[in-house]
Amino acid sequence: MDKAFTKGLRLLEALALSEQPRGVTDLASELKLTKSNVHRLLMTLQSQGYVRQIPPHSTYELTTKIWALGSHVIHRMDLINIARPAMTKLAEITGETIHLSVLEDTDVVYVDKIESAHHIRAHTSVGMRAPAFTMATGKAMLAHMPDDYLERFRPHLKRYTETTRTTIEELREDIELARTQGYSSVLHGEWREGIAACACAILGRSGELVGAIGVSGPDTRIKRKQIKEYSVHVMEAARAIGAALGYSNRPAAHPAPRSDSMPSHQPRRTP
């Protein structure tokens, strides 16, 4: 166990439960730590934006950074609960694995899934990460990001399978297609071989990106024709989740975001 980290967490908890700013001596007495230890921890937390000093008496209080982090967690939990009915319906219609994903920098993160009943299926787990540029859900979400967001993938582009898109230009083509048709697709696995998928982004109350829903399975079973059929139901599922989150008047095709507009969610294999 990291003792310094544990002390820092205890200090955060003490400040969070305090109704007013606290001094070093006061905190040291409560936590049974030396004043130098508390001061060093406060300086570290302040440098990372979690704590601010209140003049003129050198007391300290938490910033809203902890609240912001917590709100992302609550938002994600709300998304999971709200998305479940649409995910269940989509699973019943397609019989394939359904994923709910969010975008975190250059990765997609699976926050929920419904497993296919087929013996041969896409094997993933909740909490798993995958490179967003290889995934259907990733590309669906990137279609709602500013154009210059794709530049952060440049150092990470590498070939995972024969069909992996390995240049920004190729990735941009996929993103533009997703914007035009309203959903993204991967016909043959770009991260893992033999996986086909399609996905659609989910928008929140203000039109901000909150996640994506997708369907995936082996490309021996899911062909181009099935992708086209499934895409209708995937888009409907995304619309239903968005509506439950408070979003309305969603267009059938997604206009390209302006490069100076950034979705608020920055709140992520296969879709």
SS3 content of the chain, % helix, strand, coil (to 5): 45, 20, 35
Please give the chain's pLDDT, 271 residues, in tens: 678 899 999 999 999 988 899 999 999 999 999 999 999 999 999 999 999 998 887 899 999 888 777 766 666 668 888 999 999 999 999 999 999 999 988 999 999 999 887 766 566 778 888 999 999 999 999 999 998 899 999 888 999 999 999 899 999 999 999 999 999 999 998 998 889 999 999 998 888 899 999 999 999 899 999 999 999 999 999 999 999 988 876 444 444 444 443 343 333 333 4
Angle formed at CA 191 by CA 210 and CA 77, multiple of 5 degrees: 25
Q: Checking phi first, is residue 123 left (phi over 0); if not, alpha (psi -120 to 50) or beta?
A: beta
Start-end of CATH 1.10.10.10 domains in the chain: 3-63
| Closest to 114 measured CA to CA, from 134, 94, 142, 137 | 94
Q: How far apart are CA 213 and CA 112, in angstroms?
A: 10
**Res 119: pLDDT:** 66
The two three-digit tokens of residue 215, written as one number? 């369907």
Q: How far apart are CA 28 and CA 18, in angstroms?
A: 14
The per-residue pLDDT for range 96-136, each reduced to its tens digit, is 999 999 998 899 999 999 988 776 656 677 888 899 999 99
Start-end of CATH 3.30.450.40 domains in the chain: 67-244
Distance of CA 144 to the CA centre of its chain: 13
The two three-digit tokens of residue 236, written as one number? 């409907």
Beta strands in the chain (DSSP E): 51-54, 59-62, 97-104, 107-114, 129-131, 184-186, 195-203, 209-218
Q: What is the pTM of this model?
A: 0.67
Architecture of the CATH domain 67-244 = 2-Layer Sandwich (3.30)
Contact call for residues 202 and 210 (beta carbons, < 8 A): yes
Number of neighbouring beta carbons within 10 Å of residue 232 = 13
The per-residue pLDDT for range 234-244, each reduced to its tens digit, is 999 999 999 99
Question: Residue 166: beta bridge partners?
Answer: none
**Res 117: pLDDT:** 77
Question: Residue 209: beta bridge partners?
Answer: 203
Q: Which amino acid is at 206?
A: S
Fold of 3-63: Arc Repressor Mutant, subunit A (1.10.10)
**Res 4: pLDDT:** 87
**Res 68: pLDDT:** 72
**Res 266: pLDDT:** 38
**Res 122: pLDDT:** 63
Contact call for residues 212 and 271 (beta carbons, < 8 A): yes
Beta strands in 91-163 (DSSP E): 97-104, 107-114, 129-131
Q: How far apart are CA 224 and CA 240, in angstroms?
A: 24
